[in-house]
Amino acid sequence: MEQRDEIVVLEQYDKLRLEDFLLGQFQTLSKMYLRERVKIGACEVNGRHENIGYRLRSNDFVEIVVDHARGTAMRPEDIALDIVHEDADIIVVNKPAEMLMHPSHCENSGTLLNGLVFYLNKDNPGTVLRPGLPHRLDKQTSGLVVIAKNAMAHRKLSAAFLKKRIEKKYLALVDGCVEQQEQTIIAPIGRFADEKIWGVKDDGKHSETRLVVRERFEDKTLVELEPITGRTNQLRIHCALIGHPIVGDDIRGASPYFRLCLHAWQLGFPHPRTQELVRFQTDVDYFAPASSIGKSSSTN
């Protein structure tokens, strides 16, 4: 049941963005839900509808109508996490394949976010630390993701992703023998509404992927992929376009497998507190036909 909450902004929240303020006040509600409440006009500041980036002032009067029963998105669950790095501001996790990043309308448990909420708050009874997700990996894709542990880190990481100050590289096992050692794949990507699928589309957005062969096998090739742009399903679409779909991508005619053979093995970004470039790496050996891959490591 929805109810109206009225909050007077304390001095300590002066100049804080409305979105960050609401996340702190309603710690069991999802960011997506709170953003939607602001968007539809269910939140007012001093009697006016403001956007999520509005900078609050001390003594501002915030009114918002929310359904507190919608708090399942932040439900803690004791899920094993492969943590590659952690400090006061960020966590870098090696996400397994077939795990959602956050709850959806269809699945609201067993996600990375559920596990992170448990992990971050297990030793802090009475408080709720909210993990921030500045980027995503598809459910089928495994590999490195960085999670923000506070609002400052979330803002700065999100800005770094928006400004393309991020280094991302993937490993993929593809069908066939890729003859060219290195190549750049350029093809526009868009969504076909009727089929509800993304693919190469004449009026789509510019999309670019760099491909380097890592190892060739009898009928498969291990390649490294670097997405210069970040379109939906870009790596899967571009690999299929050159006739070498990623193994397990049955939608695009690839060889069947128990998982999609796509793994985010390297991630680099400016640390939100120091702005120093940090890089993290983790390879996998469970989809490569040769065991030439090592354990997790990190370098600064």
The ranges assigned to domains in the chain are 2-72, 74-166, 168-264
Fold entry, domain 168-264: Pseudouridine synthase (3.30.2350)
Query: Token pair 């400052």 is at which residue?
Result: 152
Q: Which residues fall within 8 angstroms of residue 300, CB to CB, at 6 or more apart?
A: 276, 277, 278, 279
| pLDDT attached to residue 128 | 66
- Spatial separation of the C-alpha atoms in residues 209 and 194, rounded to whole Å: 26
Rounded to the nearest 10 degrees, the angle between the axes of helix 31-39 and helix 18-25 is 130
Q: How far is CA 111 from CA 46, 117, 139, 247, in A?
A: 37, 10, 9, 24
- Spatial separation of the C-alpha atoms in residues 110 and 112, rounded to whole Å: 7
Q: Which 3 state secondary structure label does DSSP give 189?
A: strand
| pLDDT attached to residue 291 | 39
Helix %, strand %, coil % of the chain (to 5): 20, 30, 50
Contact call for residues 25 and 7 (beta carbons, < 8 A)? yes
Question: Across-strand partners of 226?
Answer: 210
| pLDDT attached to residue 72 | 53
| pLDDT attached to residue 73 | 56
Quote the distance between the C-alpha of residue 39 and its chain's center: 22
Q: Which 3 state secondary structure label does DSSP give 161?
A: helix
- Of the candidate CATH numbers 3.30.2350.10, 3.30.2130.30, 3.40.50.11060, 3.30.1490.20, the domain formed by 74-166 belongs to 3.30.2350.10
- Spatial separation of the C-alpha atoms in residues 43 and 64, rounded to whole Å: 4
CATH of the domain spanning 2-72: 3.10.290.10
Q: Which residues fall within 8 angstroms of residue 249, CB to CB, at 6 or more apart?
A: 236, 239, 240, 260
Q: Please list the pLDDT of the chain residue by residue as tens digits (300 residues).
A: 678 888 999 888 888 999 988 987 886 677 888 988 999 999 999 999 999 999 999 999 999 998 876 665 567 889 999 999 999 999 999 999 999 988 766 677 899 988 998 999 888 766 667 788 888 899 999 999 999 998 889 889 988 988 889 999 999 999 999 999 999 999 999 989 888 889 999 999 999 999 999 999 989 999 999 999 988 899 999 999 999 999 999 999 999 999 999 999 999 999 999 999 999 998 766 565 543 433 334 445
Is 138 a known active-site residue? Answer: yes
Domains 2-72 and 168-264 share a fold: no
| pLDDT attached to residue 290 | 43
Catalytic residue among 20, 123, 138, 219: 138
Quote the distance between the C-alpha of residue 231 and its chain's center: 13
